[in-house]
Structure formats: structure tokens, C-alpha cells
Structure 1
């Protein structure tokens, strides 16, 4: 991921290279030890993570067995109006994951050297929250709620259907990649959808937190 800081213009706010560097260098460090589903870290309950959408009593369906590992091509989150292409992103010269280009703000990036959506482990999808002039693909991600559906179309035409179980805002000052991105329950196929959140700090040119939506595989189509 590039660490070059993007600047805001006018009254618009911009997801900066600084914010991406903090977020996705964490992904890189996590991926080196946990992309294969090892570690099994449970979700934290205190400290740097705040749950923002887990009303009591929301019924969640049972997990489905994982699918064969196939890469993603498109992601849909009907409840917040997301329908976007997915592209694999690799590492830059500094060893961090490259974000989707700002020139394509409606594109979602997949951590291509990690878990494939639908396979066992935690697959990672990242997207910008805004540009200098307009909302981007994951602008509404913090409004997602447990029980809602995420559909990932894969390159073989199959569709992995995930159910959201958790929505969290994670402060950048206490970011723990293993806790945020580690597998919640070993053996499941899980999904993380990630963008920047909190408040935009004009002095530092970055956001104060990240929004992390966790989901798990509950259905599959075309298999």
C-alpha cells in the first residue's frame, strides 16, 4: 500500500495514504501469520474496539461448510446499495498492500495473497470511504447491520453468501491486526469488509478509526 499522503481539497474529505498505510500494513503483518486461518483470535470485547451494530436477539443462521478456494469478481451488499467489481491487490515496494486506485473509487480490493472468499479462513475486502469530492464504494459500510447479507460472486460463477455478524469501529491508535482480522471461529469461511471511519482529522490528514464488518458463509449458489 502506498504511504504517500493524499491531500483534501475544498470541503471534501479524502481517505489518505497515511490511513491506508496504517490499515493495510496491519493486514500485511497479519497475513504473514494468519491468512491461512491459523491463530483463531476471538473478537475483542474491551479497549480499542467498539461494537456499533449488534442488537440483542438478532437471529443468525448456521454456518455453511467452506467452499473450494476460488477468487472473487464482484461483491454486493444489498442493504447499503453496494454492487462493485473486485480486483486483487498485491504488495508495493514497501511491502504493504496496494489499495484500489482513487481513479476507480467504486472498486473493491481483495487481499489477493490471502484467503479466497468462501474458503476456510478470513478473506479481506477493502474499499475507500470517499474521495476529495464524493462518497466512494464503502461510504455506507458503517450502516451495515448483523443479519444482513453480503454476496460475493466468484470467478467460476458461484456465489458465496455471507451473513453479517458484527460491525465494529476500531481506533487506529490501538490497532491490533490479529484481533481485528483473525479468524473468529476456526473452520469457518469468514469475510472482513474494511474501510476508514471515525472522524477525519484535518491536521493529520487521516481518519481516526477503521470500520470492520465481519461476516461468515451461510449459503452458496451455483455450486
Structure 2
């Protein structure tokens, strides 16, 4: 999704504003993201538009949580995403500091929270675009329930997740617990997050955020 600006460098600024709004909930919610209540993964209406779980999609059982490991790479074959992961903390405003625009095809992992594979929801964030081109999570909104996400850790271990929910949260009614909290207590989950919706020229930001939820279903060999 393009930023909708013709001014040089404006796309970087506008997308950056969207990031600040998207992840402000982490600052408000603090480090409680791994201990939130169980949340339904069914389709939502009203302020939250969702792809949800289409009828007829059979999802596999969850794999038991693991110790978890620092992630190095993420792949979503169905939409052609394959990218390195770098750890990211919080910036001066209390929001997750996203990867640099100099490396738009890099995904950030919030290293103050859950490690992929461990119980709780691990957060992976990526830009949707820059001022000149598409970025790593440009196609994230095309992901559908039942599709696979694979994470390779720095120790060489691999964990595989199945997407069970895709939601588009409006910025004006962004609910941090619904976006970041575990959908089922004790389950190892992922959240993959980027900007979405349309571009609001008045607010100089995107109007929504795409949040893909997936849960651990396998531990492939090599």
C-alpha cells in the first residue's frame, strides 16, 4: 500500500507516524502482554473488521509450548514473505522501535516480551512501505487462516505456526489487549503486525492496523 504522498521523504514520515499510533498500546499496557486474558479468535464486527476463520477451514491442534528462542528469520510462503528478524526494544515514546527504513525488508521482534515458541504471544512487526517502495509486510493483509508461518531461531531450531485469525483494527478504536494478548491461555502464539486500511491525508497516517494471529502447531526438522 503506497503512502499516498508525492513529496520526497514524506512516505517515511507518514509511515513513522502510523507506527507510533499502532504501538502506543504497548507503552500503556507495559509488560503485561504475555499475561492477558483469553480472547476469542472468532470474527469481529463493528470497530474491528476481520477475515476471521472461514467456514470449512480445519485447523490443526496446538503443539505444546517450548522454551522459546530468539528468532532470526520468518517465512510466510503463501504470500512470499521471507525476511530476517532483528530484536527491537522501546523508543523514547514508549512504543516498539521498528526496524530502520534503511532496511525495509527486515522484521522486528519485541525482545521485551515473549520468545517465539514459548507460551504467550510473541510480537513481530514490519513496515508496509517506504516513500519509494513496498516493504516487508506489504502483502501481510493477504494472509488467510490455515496458512503457515515458519520461524527460524538463532540456535537453528525451527517452529511452525498456523494462522487462525486475521483482523484489521481501526486506529481510532485500537484495543491493545485484543491485538497483543494471547487468544488461548498457555498456548504459544505469534502476532504479525503492520499498517493497513486507507491513508488519511489529514491525520498523515494510515487508518488501521493489520494483525495476523498464529499459534504453534509443529516443530519441523531442519
Instruction: Give the TM-score taking structure 2 as reference length.
Output: 0.91
1:74 aligns with 73
1:42 partnered with 2:40: yes
1:217 partnered with 2:190: no
CA-CA distance at 1:165 after TM superposition: 0.5
Q: Report Cα offsets for 1:33-53 as digits up to 9, x if no partner.
A: 223x34333347333211125
Any conservation in 2 of the 1:42–1:182 contact (CA below 8 Å)? no
Runs of 4+ in 1 over 4 A off after TM superposition: 10-15
CA-CA distance at 1:24 after TM superposition: 1.1
Any conservation in 1 of the 2:15–2:129 contact (CA below 8 Å)? no
- SS of the residue 1:16 aligns to: helix
**Greater Cα shift, 91-100 or 117-126:** 91-100
1:52 aligns with 51
2-structure distance, mates of 1:153, 1:176: 29
- SS of the residue 2:31 aligns to: helix
1:3 aligns with none
2:112 aligns with 113
The correspondence of residues 36-185 of structure 1 with structure 2, limited to 5 A, is 37-43=35-41, 45-52=44-51, 54-185=53-184
Q: Report Cα offsets for 1:195-215 as digits up to 9, x if no partner.
A: 000001122210000000000
1:199 partnered with 2:212: no
- SS of the residue 2:189 aligns to: strand
Q: Identify unmatched segments of 5+ residues in structure 1.
A: 1-5
Q: Identify unmatched segments of 5+ residues in structure 2.
A: none
2-structure distance, mates of 1:31, 1:184: 18
2-structure distance, mates of 1:135, 1:158: 30
Any conservation in 1 of the 2:114–2:123 contact (CA below 8 Å)? yes
Any conservation in 2 of the 1:31–1:114 contact (CA below 8 Å)? no
Any conservation in 1 of the 2:109–2:123 contact (CA below 8 Å)? yes
Size of the aligned set, in residue pairs, is: 217
